[in-house]
C-alpha cells in the first residue's frame, strides 16, 4: 500500500519481510551471544533525510504543535543547520522514491549495505528487500530504482559532509550508546526468549538513532548465508537535552522501556515467519474478527488483518516472556494496557493456547500458533 511521506515516517511500524526462517533450536550457535549495540550510519542519514526533506519545512508552518516541536527538537535543530540543502537535487531523488515506501522496508535494506558514501546494491542481497522500489513489483525495475536511490544517498552524504556532522556530534552519540548500555537487558533475556519461541537468531543488534524521531521503533531482520540477523532500530524514548555539551541526555535512559520494546521488536523475527507459514484460508476465515477493532488498529498503524494478527501474537509473547522472567507487576500492567487501552481483544484466547504450549512442552511454537488460529477460526464462525 502506498502512503504519503508523512505516514511513512510518523506511523510506528514493526512488520518486517520474512525472507528467511529462524534457526531451529537444535542448530549449533555460539553459546554466549549478547546484544550488539551500534550506531548505524546509514540509518542516521535516512533520519536526516526525513527532517531535511519533510518535517523541517512542516515545523515552519502555522499550526505545528508545541509538543511536536519539543519532541522533535534534535531533528529540527539539524534541519536548521542544513536548511541550505533542502533544495538538493539528490534529496529530491531520494524523497521521490521514499514517499512510496514504508520506513521499515527502507531500513531493512540500508542495514545490509556498506556504509554511505560507498554503498552499492550487492548482488547477494535478495530482491525481496528492495522489491518495494517497483510499483509493479518487477525485480528489474526495482533494482534499477533502488540503485538510483542508493546512489543519491551516497551523493547527499558527500554534499552535506555527513562525516563532519557525525564527528562534530560524537559526544551525543557516545551518550546515547552509554545510556543504552546501562539499560541493556540482562544475560538471561536472549535464552528466555529463544526458549519460548524454540528458535535462535544469529545476532541481536540494538541500534539507537538520534535522527529517527523519538518514540519510533522498528523490528527488522535479514538473512546472510542462511543466518538470520535481527535489528531493533529506535529513536529516543524521551525528549533529548543536547544544548549543554557538559550535561547531555539524549533520551535513551529508560531500562524498562528498552526491555519491553526489545521483547516486542525482536519478537517479530520469530512470530512473523510462524504466521506466514499458516494456510491462507486461516487468515481469510478469521478476517471478520478485524471489524470490531479495525478503527482502533488503524490508528496504531495496523491497517490489515494479517498485521493485526502479527501484533496480537507478538504481544502475547511479550506477556509470557515477562511472566517467565518473574516480572509479575510488569506482566499485569502490560496485559491490561494491551487488552483494555490498545484493544488487542483476542489476547486472552491466544494466551490460553500459548500458555498451554509453554507448560506442556509437547508441541512446537508453530503448532501452538496454529492451535491458537484454529481457536480464532471457531470464534469467527460463532459470530
Q: What is the pLDDT of residues 255-286, one digit of tens each?
A: 999 999 999 999 999 999 999 999 999 999 99
Q: How far apart are CA 193 and CA 191, in angstroms?
A: 5
Contact 317, 294 (CB under 8 A): no
The predicted-structure confidence for 293-329, as pLDDT tens digits, reads as follows 999 999 998 999 999 999 999 999 999 999 999 989 9
* Coil/strand/helix, residue 347: helix
Residues in CB range of 267: below 8 A, 6 or more apart: 193, 197, 219, 314, 317, 318, 321
Cell of 274: 510462524
For the chain, list residues with pLDDT below 70. Answer: 1-33
The predicted-structure confidence for 24-59, as pLDDT tens digits, reads as follows 555 554 555 689 999 999 999 999 999 999 999 999
* pLDDT score recorded for residue 361: 76
* pLDDT score recorded for residue 23: 59
Compute how many other C-beta atoms are within 10 angstroms of the C-beta atom of residue 205.
19
* pLDDT score recorded for residue 330: 93
550488539: which residue's cell? 36
Please, is 180 exposed, middle or buried when counting C-beta atoms within 10 Å of its C-beta (0-12, 13-18, 19+)?
Answer: buried
* pLDDT score recorded for residue 238: 93
* pLDDT score recorded for residue 7: 36
Amino acid at each position: 500500500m502506498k502512503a504519503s511521506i508523512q505516514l511513512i515516517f510518523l506511523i510506528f511500524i514493526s512488520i518486517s519481510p520474512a525472507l528467511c526462517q529462524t534457526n531451529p533450536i537444535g542448530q549449533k550457535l555460539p553459546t554466549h551471544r549478547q546484544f550488539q549495540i551500534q550506531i548505524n550510519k546509514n540509518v542516521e542519514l535516512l533520519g536526516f533525510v526525513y527532517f531535511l526533506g519533510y518535517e523541517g519545512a512542516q515545523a515552519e508552518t502555522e499550526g505545528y504543535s508545541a509538543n511536536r516541536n519539543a519532541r522533535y527538537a534534535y531533528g529540527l535543530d539539524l534541519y536548521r543547520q542544513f536548511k541550505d540543502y533542502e533544495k538538493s537535487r539528490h534529496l529530491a531523488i531520494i524523497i521521490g522514491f521514499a514517499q512510496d515506501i514504508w520506513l521499515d522496508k527502507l531500513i531493512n535494506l540500508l542495514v545490509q549495505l556498506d556504509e554511505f558514501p560507498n554503498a552499492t546494491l550487492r548482488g547477494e542481497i535478495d530482491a525481496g528487500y528492495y522489491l518495494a522500489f517497483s510499483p509493479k513489483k518487477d525485480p528489474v525495475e526495482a533494482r534499477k530504482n533502488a540503485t538510483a536511490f542508493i546512489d543519491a544517498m551516497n551523493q547527499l552524504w558527500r554534499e552535506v559532509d555527513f562525516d563532519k556532522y557525525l564527528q562534530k556530534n560524537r559526544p551525543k552519540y557516545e551518550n546515547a550508546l552509554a545510556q543504552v548500555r546501562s539499560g541493556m537487558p540482562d544475560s538471561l533475556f536472549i535464552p528466555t526468549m529463544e526458549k519460548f519461541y524454540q528458535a535462535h537468531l544469529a545476532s541481536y543488534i540494538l541500534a539507537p538513532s538520534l535522527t529517527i524521531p523519538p518514540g519510533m521503533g522498528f523490528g527488522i531482520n535479514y538473512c546472510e548465508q542462511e543466518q538470520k540477523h535481527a535489528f531493533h532500530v529506535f529513536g529516543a524514548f524521551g525528549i533529548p537535552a543536547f544544548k549543554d555539551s557538559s550535561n547531555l541526555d539524549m533520551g535513551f535512559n529508560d531500562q524498562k522501556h528498552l526491555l519491553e520494546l526489545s521483547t516486542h521488536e525482536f519478537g517479530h523475527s520469530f512470530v512473523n515467519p510462524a504466521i506466514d507459514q499458516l494456510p491462507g484460508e486461516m487468515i481469510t476465515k478469521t478476517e471478520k474478527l478485524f471489524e470490531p477493532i479495525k478503527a482502533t488498529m488503524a490508528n496504531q498503524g495496523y491497517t490489515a488483518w494479517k498485521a493485526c494478527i502479527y501484533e496480537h501474537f507478538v504481544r502475547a509473547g511479550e506477556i509470557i516472556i515477562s511472566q517467565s522472567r518473574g516480572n509479575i507487576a510488569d506482566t499485569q500492567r502490560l496485559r491490561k494496557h494491551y487488552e483494555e487501552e490498545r484493544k488487542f481483544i483476542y489476547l486472552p484466547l491466544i494466551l490460553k493456547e500459548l500458555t498451554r504450549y509453554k507448560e506442556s512442552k509437547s508441541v512446537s511454537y508453530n503448532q501452538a500458533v496454529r492451535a491458537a488460529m484454529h481457536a480464532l477460526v471457531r470464534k469467527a464462525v460463532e459470530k
